[in-house]
Chain A
Amino acid sequence: MIGFDVTGFILSWLVFFSIYSILSISLNLETGLTGMANFGKVAFYALGAYFTGYVSIEFFLRLHGLDYPIYSTDAIVALGKLSVEQPSLNLSVFLLTLVGSFLFAGVIGFLIMLPALRVGPAFFGITVLSFGEMLRIFLRHYKPVGATYGLVGIPHPLAWVGGTFSKDLGFALISLSLLAITYIYAQRITNSPLGRLLKAIRDDETATLYLGKNVPLVKGKVLFIGSGMAGVAGCLYAYYLGSITPNAFMPAVTFEVWAMMLLGGVGNNRGSILGAAIITFLDRSTAALNFLFPNLIIDPNFIRWMLVGVIIVVVLLFKPEGIIKEEYVWTPAWRLLEAKAEARRKAFKELIGRLIKRR
């Protein structure tokens, strides 16, 4: 048996935990808060990843005046050399692709709103699901992005740092800080007037429409934000692995994110993070299992996906609210009312106390 690298396991788990948490928070915004059945999360994840991979490779090659085709040995060798030369270039390309993948995936998500405006949840689910599958087929057969081979040799933003450990640690910290930003942002949305409007749309779309709210526009906004977040997750994924293939973006990935959201608690951002932590840990453990026991009867990958299906069904049947229940929205008005009610309760107690004393 080869030695098992515990620190490496934890660092890779941290990166995957951040990526999947960002995905499940974005799904929670769309599905948990707004009630849109987004079965195509993986499409926006893939868009972010491919945007990142393509732009960063092109940038590195063309900036140095090399015109190798994207999937060639020369290009990969050149990228390996170039990526350790200029730290400032690496970091600026990283920032550029981070913002770019947010906007790219977000705008395409916004355009998906067009059919979403006209159809109910069932049809929206079908459309988005098939959009994801179409995108995968397209990427598999489209030569300029490497077809079945995908993109290889994406320059790591921290490639210039010496040593694998410090590089991985740095990337894990970057991912965790992006997760923190996403979480704070999502939490701000949830507790804002927009968040309350989203919950209103989820609970009764017709009533919200007749209150004079522009429901299609709000849905489009949420799809923009959610898809953009998924694009950021894809960006991190592409940089972390350094190579992406179309088959990494199977529809099953979407359902894994669904399982995270349902397990943690629908409509609750902390729940989404908790669900992501649990499922990515199981996922990484099955990967480790694969590594430790190579001769299992059933492929551990199959067990992992079966587990995802079982989690979805079991959570829906036995604990539909998830591990953490949906919370109140703490608006300023609520706080004021709560303080007033507290004062009133106190006064009432005092009154009772006085009455008892008098007797």
Chain B
Amino acid sequence: MLTPVELVNTVWIGSVYFISAAGLTLSYRVTRILNFAYTNIITLGAYLAVILTLNGTGNLLVLIPIVFVAGSLLAMGMHYFVFSRLISLKATPLMLMASSIGIWIFLKYVYYGIVGYLQRAWKVGLYQATPNLNLDWGLKAYGMEFSGAFVASIALAAAVILSLYLFLTKTKMGKALRAVADNPSLAEVSGIPSDRVMYVTWFIAGGLASLSGLMWALFSIVTPEVGDNLILEIFAVSVIGGLYSIPLTALGAYVISGAENLLMPILHDTIGLEVSFRPFIAFFTLLVVILIKPPLGAAGALPYRFRLRRKGR
């Protein structure tokens, strides 16, 4: 049976997926780098929420800017120290991906090392932790009581998406960003400083990833592998959006979250599928999307895209 809890979870997790996948899509479109180390930024956001609220309850409103800026700095650091140098060396996209994998695995075990060290130094359990926030109030509506964490997450997601929309459509920098995404050479010829645009993109994408980590920390337990456990869903969501369109990414986020939270209990009841096989839903969605509607744009393979189009006509 479906319960309101599952519906609430659908919306909640869907928002986390959406925020993080929006950042991934944006960064891929503008910089043409598929950054696997994106998961580290999510983990950073989640852990900052835990560590900063360790002694006493923290204020969410203070936490948000700190988490955002920390994630942005990490993403911009990656670009400054690795990606920008590789691009100036004319590395292939394959090698850029490989370098992001290198950063990913390095940072992952750095986190493990730091968390293990802090756990021993401060004598608190950090491998599985939750943040202490002033969110024990509830909101009564529609005959239900929503928890403060849920309301805060949804409000945060809505605010983030609204400001992202306003930034991309109304400001000069946002327009420049979209121009670089659509046609890098034309943008450069028109005098758009594409180097600065890259940094702005990483600033936003890193901030979004970090905030989605914070939202995940409000929902569930934080471990050093938070981001890695989310990576599959986030990539599946981005693939539904074709790593191209942000509205489609939103659709993908709620579809995948709905499949995981609403479809899974039904499958469990009817055909006895075990709940531990939950990640398979995202994986099968990914495969089905790739098989039925191969992504176009920069991410698709050019020759076959051409062949498919001719067949269609």
A contact set with B: CB distance below 8 Å: 31, 35, 37, 39, 114-115, 117-123, 125-127, 129-131, 133-134, 137-138, 140-141, 205-206, 209-210, 215-216, 252, 255, 258-259, 262, 297-299, 302-303, 305-306, 308-313, 316-317, 320
Bound Cα distance A286, B274 (Å)? 38
Give the residues from 132 to 177 in chain B that come closer than 8 angstroms, CB to CB, to chain A: none
Report the minimum CB–CB distance from A355 to chain B (whole Å): 45
Query: Nearest B residue to A36 by beta-carbon distance?
Result: B94
Asked if residues A312 and B291 are in contact (CB atoms below 8 Å), the reply is: no
B302 in the interface (beta carbon within 8 A): yes
Please list the 10 inter-chain residue pairs (A to B) with the smallest Cβ-Cβ separation, ordered nearest first: A309-B106, A312-B102, A118-B294, A313-B102, A309-B105, A305-B109, A302-B109, A209-B303, A122-B34, A141-B276
Bound Cα distance A303, B112 (Å)? 10
Asked if residues B98 and A119 are in contact (CB atoms below 8 Å), the reply is: no
Q: List 6 A-B contacts (CB under 8 A).
A: A119-B299, A126-B286, A302-B116, A313-B99, A316-B86, A316-B102
Asked if residues B101 and A258 are in contact (CB atoms below 8 Å), the reply is: yes
How many contacts A-B (CB < 8 Å)?
A: 162
Bound Cα distance A154, B84 (Å)? 49
13 further A-B pairs in the complex, CB-CB below 8 A; given A37-B94, A118-B301, A121-B97: A118-B308, A119-B301, A120-B299, A120-B301, A122-B34, A134-B280, A134-B283, A137-B276, A137-B279, A141-B277, A302-B109, A309-B107, A312-B101
B contact set with A: CB distance below 8 Å: 28, 34, 36, 82, 85-86, 89, 91-95, 97-99, 101-110, 112-113, 116-117, 231-232, 235-236, 239, 243, 274, 276-277, 279-280, 282-283, 286-287, 290-291, 294-295, 298-304, 308
**Given the complex, which residues of B lie within 8 Å of A310, measured CB to CB?**
102, 106
Bound Cα distance A316, B36 (Å)? 16
Query: Nearest A residue to B101 by beta-carbon distance?
Result: A255
Asked if residues A298 and B303 are in contact (CB atoms below 8 Å), the reply is: no
Bound Cα distance A299, B115 (Å)? 12
Report the minimum CB–CB distance from B97 to chain A (whole Å): 6
Asked if residues A130 and B235 are in contact (CB atoms below 8 Å), the reply is: yes
Asked if residues B98 and A258 are in contact (CB atoms below 8 Å), the reply is: yes
Asked if residues B290 and A141 are in contact (CB atoms below 8 Å), the reply is: no
Report the minimum CB–CB distance from B289 to chain A (whole Å): 10
Asked if residues A35 and B304 are in contact (CB atoms below 8 Å), the reply is: no
Interface centre among A37, A205, A309, A317 (most CB of B within 10 A): A309
Interface centre among B82, B104, B109 (most CB of A within 10 A): B109
Asked if residues B112 and A316 are in contact (CB atoms below 8 Å), the reply is: no
- Given A133-B232, A306-B109, A298 contacting B295 (CB threshold 8 A): no
Asked if residues A130 and B102 are in contact (CB atoms below 8 Å), the reply is: no
Report the minimum CB–CB distance from B34 to chain A (whole Å): 4
**Given the complex, which residues of B lie within 8 Å of A117, measured CB to CB?**
301, 304
Asked if residues A115 and B102 are in contact (CB atoms below 8 Å), the reply is: no
Asked if residues A298 and B116 are in contact (CB atoms below 8 Å), the reply is: yes
**Given the complex, which residues of B lie within 8 Å of A209, measured CB to CB?**
303
Report the minimum CB–CB distance from A300 to chain B (whole Å): 11
Asked if residues A298 and B283 are in contact (CB atoms below 8 Å), the reply is: no
Bound Cα distance A118, B287 (Å)? 11
Report the minimum CB–CB distance from A105 to chain B (whole Å): 19
**Given the complex, which residues of A lie within 8 Å of B308, measured CB to CB?**
118
Asked if residues A126 and B274 are in contact (CB atoms below 8 Å), the reply is: no
